[in-house]
Amino acid sequence: MRSLNRLGTRPASLPLAADDIVEFHAARLLLLILVCGVAGRIDGLTKMAKLDFFSRYPEFFEAAAKGQAKDAVAPAPAEAVESAMVRHHYGPWDKRYYHVLAHLEAKHLIKVVKVKKTFVISLTDLGKERAQRLAEKASFEPLVTRMREIKKVFGSKTGSSLKNMIYNMFDAEIGRRPLGEMIEK
pLDDT tens by residue, 20-45: 788 989 999 999 999 999 999 999 99
Mean pLDDT of 79-88: 68
| pLDDT score recorded for residue 173 | 85
Give pTM, 2 decimals: 0.83
For residue 121, list its beta bridge partners: 42, 112
Question: What integer is the mean pLDDT of 7-16?
Answer: 55
**Largest Cα–Cα distance of the chain, in whole Å?**
49
What pLDDT does residue 144 have? 96
DSSP string, 67-89: TS-TTPPPPPPP---SS-EEEET
**pLDDT on residue 14:** 57
Give the residue with greater pLDDT, 21 vs 5. 21
- The rounded distance, in Å, linking the Cα atoms of 173 and 165 is 13
Query: Distance from first CA to last CA of the chain, Å, rounded?
Result: 13
Structure confidence at residue 101 as a pLDDT band (50, 70, 90): very high
pLDDT for 121-151, tens place per residue? 999 999 999 999 999 999 999 999 999 999 9
User: Rounded to whole angstroms, how far apart are CA atoms 109 and 141?
Assistant: 21
pLDDT of residue 70: 47
With a cut of 90, say whether residue 54 has pLDDT above it. Answer: yes
